[in-house]
Chains A and B, each alone.
Chain A
Amino acid sequence: MNPRTTLLTLAEALAWWIALAALWLVLISTVDTLERVVGASAAAVAAVAATAARRVVTAR
């Protein structure tokens, strides 16, 4: 993987992370530090999964 595709993949994962973390913050009831940490971690895992999934789906 050359540096350009690495950068594009990282940018896409970051975009997914921002969208998913924002969705988490909207869907929970009270926002405190624990919720922020949990939301950021869950969004990170889901962003990696979403980037990989999109690659698989569009490669077909």
Chain B
Amino acid sequence: MNGWILGATLALGAGIGAALWGVATGPLRRRVVAQNMSTALACPALLLLSQGYTRPSYVDLALVLALLGPVGTLVFARLLADELADDPPRAWGVTWVVAGFGAAVVGVLCVATGPSRALVKLLVVGALLIGGNVVASRALSGGFRGVRRG
């Protein structure tokens, strides 16, 4: 057990635990935000695990999650648009904290990896993670007016 795996364990335990509590209790607006945060926290945890087990192939899991996590949240935002319209989620604080955590993890891993193609791959994953997180949060708070329900 090295520091990377320990960090991943802490991120998973605290982060996904909090996300689970948020998705199980409370009004609908808290639950969708918690679901969004669960994917946004699992991605840096997978990056840390990839470094901890020294298997660069695990970064592909983080890449796929960075792409599909926001897609899942957008599915909920689209199909629950009616119920969310009267009580829109406003959780920008949590969003930016989680995005900051993701950026910090990517930064530390970039330093640990050193200049190479793997570094650029980490930066791509980080950009997708933060960009996807922001897009999904904005869609949840009803930001994309041009998309109307079918």
Contacts and interface: CB of A to CB of B under 8 A. Distances in A.
Q: Do A and B have CB atoms closer than 8 angstroms in the complex?
A: yes
Interface of A: 23, 25-27, 29, 31
Interface string B56-69: 11001001000000
B63 A29 contact: no
Contacts of B117: 25-26, 31
6 contacts: A23-B124, A27-B60, A27-B63, A27-B121, A29-B56, A29-B57
Interface in B52-98: 56-57, 60, 63
Chain A binding site: helix, strand, loop or mixed by DSSP?
Answer: helix
Nearest to A23: B124
A26 B63 CA distance: 12
Contact of B124 (A27, A29, A31): A27
B120 A26 contact: yes
A15 to B, nearest CB: 18
Q: Among the interface residues B57, B63, B117, B124, which one has the most CB atoms of the partner chain A within 10 A?
A: B117
Contacts of A27: 60, 63, 121, 124
Contacts of A26: 117, 120-121, 124
A20 to B, nearest CB: 12
